[in-house]
Structure 1
Amino acid sequence: MLLAERISDAKGERSESIEAQDEKLRARAEREGVHIVGTAVDLSISGDVDMFDRPSLGQWLTPEGLQKWDEIWVSTQDRLSRDDKHFLAFVLKVIEWQKKVTVLDDPQFNEQMHTPEGLLILHAKALGPAKELARIKARVTESHERRRFTARWHGGFPPFGYRPVNRFENGKTAAYLELDEDMVAVLHEMRRQIIDGQSFLGVAKYLNAKGVLTARDRARLRKGKPVKSRKGEGIQEKWAETTVKNVLTEESTQGLKRYQGEVLYGADGEPVRLADPVFTDGEWESLQAAIQRRTRTATKRVNKTNPLYGVIFCAECDAKAVQKTFTRKAITYRYYVCGSFPKEDRCKGSVRAEEVEEFMEIEFLQRYGRDPVTERTWVPGTDNTRELEEVRKRIDRLRRDSVAGLWDDDQEGFRGLMASLMSRRDALAAEPVVEGHWSEKDTGITYGELWPTLDLEGQRKQLIKSGYRIMISKGTFKITPEPETWQEKKTRLESLGYVLRDNRWVQPDTAHTGEE
């Protein structure tokens, strides 16, 4: 005999616990002296899940499992199923298998399975649990709809930077989100690295090296479960390039509520906020600007030994140039050659690597050596275009709902909501659009002082940032932009507001020493 026990995770389903079911079934089996071959326990399995698909019971309904039992026992009929179609299909299978079903609170169940009239009675009995399940689903859906536009947390693992907290209100426990200071510190470090020009992959490597847990692993630990990755349980999940980008671009990092992948807006046209934001508006805007700039212009480094990767190209086909080395008489020679793929299609031009790198360094320092190194700071702008579009869509949806008669019983509510949305639309449309922009602040050092402190990777990034491009051909190369004359340099820096003092270019407010 097989015991079948199930409990749903639907909070609206009032059912006896697994322990109570097990106690009743075993007490009955002991009184009747029946041998128990096993127990199929399905925890948190809804009554509308087909019995053949259940994690535990489904294993006993396979050809191999059927050989191990002759009779299945449940405490009540709805422990088998709350879906009338699944229930009847299972009953017909039991008849086909020539097995029995015992329902403790329905002694006639097994006999009714074997007559046409009895099957009709069983079907009628199955309709009750099916209707109750439909009522449960309706209550759950209604509850979700009611909470959708509130600051309540719906469950699951929260976005990185936040942790769930329970608050007692109106006699019940409600879940909310609050900032996790440890994760907030990590997010600010991630932002700093992106602003400084680090790649998403570089940030991911940094997080993995530091052993920083992902949002998913943190959620597992909070529930008392071990961390888990593709490599198995107990192995920490790794940060990836896409994970870093998602964390730094999704609005949930700013505490905004999302629904079906989009920010959720309330009746007043304002986004629904779950918790305080991680970044200020200015910090968030500058981060997104840095990410967009990097997405458009970033050059990934795929060859760690090439100090000019992303700077040097083939003049004939415009493919990135790669390094080629060979050793002769214990001396290693390096060349830059066309990196087109496949190798058979590579152009024939090549130049000595040391020659190009030395010339490039001299050119950079001649052009920028006495220029001040500036620090880019973001000046926030104002652009409500996206929010304005969302409000207009809400107005259109509200009008369609009214035409469909969905507001017939609440015209006052309709007019109030429409007035609120139209007021918000007009206010947003009246606000000017001011683009955010970067501002340069003098750091007090020159590029000539900065250059020796940079490693090869730092120098490579600086050349890319400065807009340099080297084109190689047979034994020659050309650098753009071309070296500028002293007059061109003077004109360029003076146009930016710099003056030459003590053999270095400085901003006017630092050019005076107090002596007139």
Structure 2
Amino acid sequence: MRRVLLAERISYSRDEKSESIEAQDARLKTRAAEEAARVVGITADVSVSGDVDMFDRPALGEWLAVDRREEWDELWVTNQDRLSRSEPHFMSFVFKMLEWGKEIHVLDDPSFTEQMKTPEGRAILHVKSLGPHKELERIKQRIQDSHDRRRFTNRWPGGIAPFGYRIVHRYVDGKQVAFIELDEEMVVWLHRMREWAVANEPHSGIEAKLNGGDVLTARDRARVARGKATKSKSALRKSQEGSRELWSNGSVKALLTNQALLGYKKYRGKVLRDDNGDPVRIADPVFTTEEWETLQAAVRARSVTTARRVNMTSPAYGVAICSGCGSNGNHKVSRGHANGLEYRYYVCGNWPNAKRCKGISCRAEIVEEMMEVLFLQLHGHERVTKRVWVAGSDSARELDQVEAKIRRLMRQDEEGDWEDDRAEYRQRMNRLKGRRTELKAMPVIKSGWVEIDQGMTYAELWATLDLEGQRKRLLESNFRMMIGKGTAWPEKVAMESPLIIEGEVVKSVQVSAVG
């Protein structure tokens, strides 16, 4: 008995006028019953474009694999379009079926099966495939034209909404249209992230708080909204259903600098601008202009250090530096065989790769005590300040925007975009230059950071910090301890007056000199 696999497909494109999956299914089953063929499987690819290779289709692709290929002899479709609209995919599949010794039956084209078996017949099939292929290109063009028309509207073009927003559907002119609006739950988290960033919290710290708070990423939120499980990727890059997608340093920074948070529409990764050079806004902004500027300044100004501690606690990691090669000192712990006592050292973190650094090692207690005493001698009397962002005046911000528009317009002119409309170009340029003149006449207050006294000295602050807080303070002050063979000394500090630790002269330091 003939073993038949029924293949059904529909893309559900508005521009594709074709029979439904149900109609295809009914026709194929009726013909199978009439010819007494045994149906071994039915593949229904719904919302799958005719441009997708048969091997990549969710349903049909499984039956084309080696382990299932021997279960059927003939592949049936209602018409050639249901098989493929792509001329190269179609012809490649025909040759592959011949290689496997299988047949293709098209209900609307009874001669198809015999034509695929001869060179002359395959030439005819190739000509037949050009019609669906051209129709596919027309469909793509109509869709692209539709996207182009909607690109500068306030509609949502499709895809996953940015973190902070959700997709909503409204009826416009009797049709359902997608927009985005603020999601209050995500907005709360975004404002928390901004507060942490402005307070100089590193991206790794923000990442940990988001992961610890079970905050879903934009992709996971979109999956949940569709009734699907969250999904993460393992180290092997394999999808894991049910596991959350975790935040990372990169995803945190990308989110905090994404101009989509201002409600701007983006196209191919860039903010979309109208004819006047203004950003196209499709939703309310998450942040005010001042809040956004403060956040961007904090992201730019935040000192990024590669001194991240690993394994056990190391109070001087990133502060203790190998004097031989400049790498971070590693914290090592050993235990005496005879007495069982624990001994801690800082050694070159690049040894044995850096052969010259063999033997560079200093007792951890000496390094840590020296760095505390030296830091307090150098900075303990200084006042602790907090950097606060002061936003500039509205005229300053608008002036920057006008200057940017003038530069953009000049660049367009250099590229020849205004060759056919010089009058419009001059009108826009004159209008922008006039506004620039008005703004320059206004008082300008530049945005910037100011230092606000926190009411204490570094010596008073030091007593309130834990080990990690002290380490961060040393890093922020660019304070470093150089590790040698059995000794340590502060980087870039002249040696004049003695420094006494527990009654012993350890090193000498000029207290007034700051490295």
Which category describes the TM-score, using the shorter chain as reference length? 0.7 to 0.9
* TM alignment of 1:131-146, pairs within 5 A: 131-146=134-149
Task: Sort the Cα spacing of 1:208 and 1:305 in 2 relative to 1 into closer, same or farther, 3 A.
Answer: same
1:252 matched to 2:260? The reply is yes
- What's the offset of the Cα at 1:215? 1.1
1:234 matched to 2:242? The reply is yes
Match of 1:475 in 2: 487
* TM alignment of 1:352-371, pairs within 5 A: 352-365=363-376, 368-369=379-380, 371=382
Q: Which amino acid aligns with 1:450?
A: L
* TM alignment of 1:12-411, pairs within 5 A: 12-61=15-64, 65-91=68-94, 99-110=102-113, 122=125, 125-231=128-234, 232-294=240-302, 299-302=307-310, 304-328=312-336, 329-342=339-352, 344-346=355-357, 348=359, 350-365=361-376, 368-369=379-380, 371-381=382-392, 382=397, 383-384=400-401, 389-397=407-415, 399-400=416-417
**TM-score normalized by structure 2?**
0.80
Q: Deviations over 1:313-348 (max 9, x none)?
A: 244543333334444434433343443432643264
Q: Indicate the SS of the match to 1:453.
A: coil
Task: Sort the Cα spacing of 1:173 and 1:355 in 2 relative to 1 into closer, same or farther, 3 A.
Answer: same
Match of 2:447 in 1: 436
Match of 1:510 in 2: none
Distance 1:298 1:286 in 2: 24
Task: Sort the Cα spacing of 1:489 and 1:56 in 2 relative to 1 into closer, same or farther, 3 A.
Answer: same
Contact 1:74 1:102 in 2 (8 A): yes
Contact 2:202 2:304 in 1 (8 A): no
- What's the offset of the Cα at 1:446? 4.2
- What's the offset of the Cα at 1:179? 1.6
**TM-score normalized by structure 1?**
0.80
Q: Which amino acid aligns with 1:136?
A: I
Q: Which stretch shifts more, 20-29 or 429-438?
A: 429-438
- What's the offset of the Cα at 1:377? 1.2
- What's the offset of the Cα at 1:373? 3.3
- What's the offset of the Cα at 1:20? 2.4
Contact 2:351 2:358 in 1 (8 A): no
Contact 2:303 2:476 in 1 (8 A): no
1:459 matched to 2:470? The reply is yes
Q: Deviations over 1:480-514 (max 9, x none)?
A: 667999xx999x9xxxxxxxxxxxxxxxxxxxxxx
- What's the offset of the Cα at 1:277? 2.2
Distance 2:325 2:123 in 1: 79
- What's the offset of the Cα at 1:140? 0.5
Q: Indicate the SS of the match to 2:38.
A: coil
Distance 1:300 1:435 in 2: 35
Q: Which runs of 5+ in 2 are unaligned?
A: 235-239, 498-509
Q: Indicate the SS of the match to 1:342.
A: coil
- Aligned-residue Cα RMSD (Å) equals 3.7
- What's the offset of the Cα at 1:95? 5.9
Distance 1:347 1:121 in 2: 77
Q: Deviations over 1:283-331 (max 9, x none)?
A: 2223222222335556433465221222232445433333344444344
Q: Which amino acid aligns with 1:341?
A: W
- Equivalenced residue count is 479
Distance 2:122 2:358 in 1: 81
Match of 1:500 in 2: none
Q: Deviations over 1:407-464 (max 9, x none)?
A: 7xxx6xx854774477447756986697532112233444444323221111111122
Q: Percent identity?
A: 48
Q: Which amino acid aligns with 2:268?
A: Q
Match of 1:497 in 2: none
